[in-house]
Amino acid sequence: MIYPATQTNIQKAAQALKQGNVVAFPTETVYGLGANALNAMAVAKIFEIKQRPFFDPLIVHVSSLEMVKYIVSYLPDMALQCIKTFWPGPLTIVLPKKNVIPDIVTAGLDTVAVRMPSHHVAQQLIEHAGVPIAAPSANPFGYLSPTTAYHVEKQLGNKVDIILDGGQSPVGVESTIIKIEKDSVTLLRHGGIPVEDIEAVAGEVSLIRHTQVEAPGQLPYHYAPTTKIVLVKDVSNIPDDSSSGMILYKKSDISFKNIHVMYLSDNGDLRQAAANLFACLHALDAMKLSVIYVEEIPDVGLGQAIMDRLKKAQARHR
């Protein structure tokens, strides 16, 4: 059930987490499905609810640097620098883990992915629970991530008792994931912090072709709606058909009469586009159309995270 994120309801949700239950909650990126990261049984419920394969490790959410030190065995200077610059916020850092984090959280890896969310509801929830919270996006495995409480309710409502409603997630795409080893930084997933911003702090960031186990978010398809997605450079030639949907990067004066059109942004603001991405896809997917055309986004800054999600959505039907 959806509960507005009042103080009382945040307390109630924190209590549920302490008791080993699962709670859906808002973050600035997307909604998460959380459980006490120190409790393997509680974390197992996340995998069960999401139908998520056990080889796909989870991100652990913290509310303080003390919590990071409790779960991470080594914090390189470079990590501290990134923490200082980007936390709280949509950056996840993969670091060597301590034994307090059970294997189910990390899929047996000796590293743990850590992030300090900036959303005040997420922060208060973690603080009240008093433990780090393991949380993937609150969607069935492979499907679109939720950016509202309603998206969670629609997809997992019968499986999650508490869905805290903190409004629409302002960033709208998942966190950027980097792995830091001594002084080297590797990008594992594009996301809410553009890689250019990280390079300004950390110097050159390398992009390795990872194995499935290293970053299953990099499976060829993911973030996919049920409806077929087709990316197009020039939308002017698309047939104007009422069984199709179309997502445009910005408002334009192309006049379509029948096709269902949605806009990611007013004037081409990438932040606005990212924030609206999943909501547009959810809305058009619910209409059971035969195809959703999506105009390509400039592949720079946040555009890289958006294009990454769109390419993976398209790949499902290839």
Strand partners, 25: 32
Residue choice 14, 27, 36, 270 for contact with ligand TXA (CB under 6 A): 27
- Rounded to the nearest angstrom, the gap between the alpha carbon of residue 68 and the centroid of all alpha carbons in its chain is 20
CA distance 190 to 192: 7
Q: Torsion over CA of 204, 205, 207 and 210, rounded to 10 degrees?
A: 140
CB-nearest residue to Mg ion: 137
Q: Point out which span in 25-33, 230-238, 254-262, 267-275 binds ligand TXA (CB under 6 A).
A: 25-33
Cβ distance to Mg ion smaller for residue 137 or 176: 137
Looking up tokens 């006490």 gives: 36
Q: Minimum distance between the CB of residue 174 and Mg ion, rounded to whole angstroms?
A: 6
Which letter, b or e, does each residue of 232-261 get, where b requires 16 or more Cβ atoms within 10 Å of its Cβ? eeebeebeeeeebbbbbbeeeeeebeebbb
Residue choice 188, 291, 302, 307 for contact with ligand TXA (CB under 6 A): 188
Residue 225 tokens, joined? 């709606």
| Cα-based distances in Å from 252 to 197, 235, 274 | 30, 11, 18
Q: Minimum distance between the CB of residue 136 and ligand TXA, rounded to whole angstroms?
A: 3
Q: Point out which span in 12-20, 131-139, 227-235, 248-256 binds Mg ion (CB under 5 A).
A: 131-139
Q: Point out which span in 50-58, 194-202, 270-278, 310-318 binds ligand TXA (CB under 6 A).
A: 50-58
Q: Minimum distance between the CB of residue 137 and Mg ion, rounded to whole angstroms?
A: 3
Residue choice 137, 155, 175, 244 for contact with Mg ion (CB under 5 A): 137
Residue choice 68, 112, 277, 281 for contact with ligand TXA (CB under 6 A): 112
Write each residue from 121 to 140 as x if it is in contact with ligand TXA (CB under 6 A), else as -, in one continuous string.
--------------xxx---
Helices 77-86 and 195-202: crossing angle, nearest 10°? 130
175 binds ligand TXA (CB under 6 A): yes
Cβ distance to Mg ion smaller for residue 137 or 304: 137
| Cα-based distances in Å from 241 to 248, 261, 294, 295, 300 | 16, 11, 15, 16, 31
First vs last C-alpha separation in the chain: 36
Continuous segment of H or E residues that includes residue 24 = strand 23-25
Residue choice 39, 106, 123, 304 for contact with ligand TXA (CB under 6 A): 106
Cβ distance to ligand TXA smaller for residue 74 or 251: 74
CA distance 206 to 79: 15
Residue from 1, 129, 121, 138 nearest 59 by CA: 138
Q: Minimum distance between the CB of residue 77 and ligand TXA, rounded to whole angstroms?
A: 20
Cβ distance to Mg ion smaller for residue 27 or 244: 27
Residues of this chain that bind ligand TXA (CB under 6 A) = 27, 29-30, 32, 56-59, 90, 92, 94, 106, 109, 111-113, 115, 135-137, 174-175, 177, 188, 214-217
Residues of this chain that bind Mg ion (CB under 5 A) = 137
